[in-house]
Amino acid sequence: DVKSGESALSEVEEVKQAKAAKKRLPKNSDYKVVLEVFPQTPLARKIFTTLENGRIDRRLRLQYKGLRRDLDLMQSQIKASRPNIMELPISKVPFELLFQIALCGGANDDTRRFFAQIVVELETVVAEYLGGENSTVADTLMATSRIYELFQSVNPETQQQPEDSTETDQQDESDNQNETQIENEIESDQAEQKSKKLQDAKDLFNAWNDLDDEGEPEELNATESWTASDVPEQPLESGEVAFAYDEWDRELNDFRLGWCRVIEKRSRRGDRSFVELARERHKGVISSIRHQFQLMKPENLTRIHNELDGEDYDLNAVVEFIVDKRSAKTSASNINERLYTKKLRKQRDVAVSFLLDQSSSTARTIARNPLQPYTHPGRRIIEIEKDSLVLMSEALEAVGDVYSIYGFTSEGRRNVKFYVVKDFQEKYGEEIEKRIGGITFQNNTRLGAAIRHAGAKLLKQDARTKLMIILTDGRPYDHDYGDAKYAREDVREALRDAKLNGITPFCVTIDRDSESELKDLYGDVGYTIIDDVLSLPERMPNIYRRLTS
């Protein structure tokens, strides 16, 4: 391409550039190989096509500014031709939302108000993967994977093959059905082919993401494939800081030193309307909670008696002093000379960290009514957890305790993401409300590393009582976190260390199915199971009051 201040390429240079471009990907590789890995290939293809069109539109706007007016005109015409989303079947709503966000400049106000959470989640993925000026097809594929997971949980109808808009897609779907019939007859071939596709796709991701300085990939060795236990380390973005933490290995009976890399980053801003809607949903409860927590706040000043000096006389002590002085029975050494009172400012001395699980399992929908999807669409677990954070913020502002809000997710031991929603020194206000609105589910749950980093930040607080409340919907899991027993042992060790350092950890979970495992995991430090997930926001303040009373 010809950029400002550069000369056009000669024919020889064009040939050399074309040859170099061919080397950037493994032979015979293309995005279709990756899309074939998805269980619902037509669904993945449809998501990918929409996102890739959106990525190209953004790249055109960035690189060819003269096209923007024409692209804006085309975009406005497309947007005007879109159907009313409220009249669509529920199975088509996610695709329409994705189309509007990727290709129409964003969702309209009505859509944003009614589908606030999913709009924020889609916007977050699109901004993260497709917003950069150097975004590639690999970024589109990563975004496809994220949104594929999202649609699987949003839309139960995706278990059926979605309708595709072109004859080519219909033909592909037909081919897939034929392949499925063959694979059902030969199960061993199915497993072998699926394994090969998965390996090819992993190699392809590896080639796209590990380019050398000249833009060419390192040679792929058949024995050096990218595996789940070898997830590449993601580079730091501006403003991010990485920390190294040990991890407990039960087989070694010792720590793996510096094994985990925790990346601390600011939580993305979302729509403040989430907090406003949460306040409206729970306005009666919030009013009651504020009143209860204000009663927990001690009087500003308290009078201390029997002091050697102070602002005023302690009359009872003065009377006793005079009586003792006149009494022949009391020796001078036994006369109490503490005759004054002082007024001291009395404060609660509590610092608390809320640690929020942002793993993909929190995308599950609770209490969805399939017969009334618009009036009773159900709520995601992470939305309910966010409601809890809103209520707790209101309560803690009333009582005056110092608090922080953190979220975490992970993609392997070198990519544990630790989101700062509110740090201890930050004031609760519009900025924090936007960050709460922007919280969304992401990947996995490397809980041990997150506990260690939250604990390190909490230990810096000069408070007598230090409390860490962990909100999670299940058990620890990550690509390379070993078996379930390994993960549990590491979390238990992290909790034990926190407790030895003077922190009181407490887990709030909704995973009733694994109660015995939870007792094994959190039994030493305390936990509670919330049977009715929708009651979590109202129960959280009571849990906190019990822990700090």
pLDDT digits (tens, 9 = 90+) for 280-333: 989 888 988 888 888 777 655 567 777 777 778 888 888 888 887 777 666 666
User: What length is written for the chain?
Assistant: 549
Q: Who contacts 419 (Cβ-Cβ below 8 Å, separation ≥6)? A: 265, 266, 267, 358, 406, 407, 408, 409, 439
Whose tokens are 């380019």? That residue is: 211
Residue 414 DSSP symbol: T
Nearest of 274, 253, 247, 542 to residue 430 by alpha carbon:
274
Confidence of residue 152 (pLDDT cuts 50, 70, 90): low
- Residue ranges per domain, the chain? 11-209, 265-295+348-548, 303-345
- Give the pLDDT confidence score for residue 284 in this predicted structure: 86
pLDDT at 40 over 60: yes
Confidence of residue 218 (pLDDT cuts 50, 70, 90): very low
Measured CA angle at 538 (ends 534, 541), to 5 deg: 140
Give pTM, 2 decimals. 0.56
Beta partners for residue 242, in sequence order = 263
Buried b (16+ CB within 10 A) or exposed e, 282-293: beeebeebbeeb
Quote the CATH superfamily of domain 265-295+348-548: von Willebrand factor, type A domain (3.40.50.410)
Gap between the Cα atoms of 254 and 420, Å rounded: 30
Confidence of residue 120 (pLDDT cuts 50, 70, 90): confident
Whose tokens are 């309307």? That residue is: 273
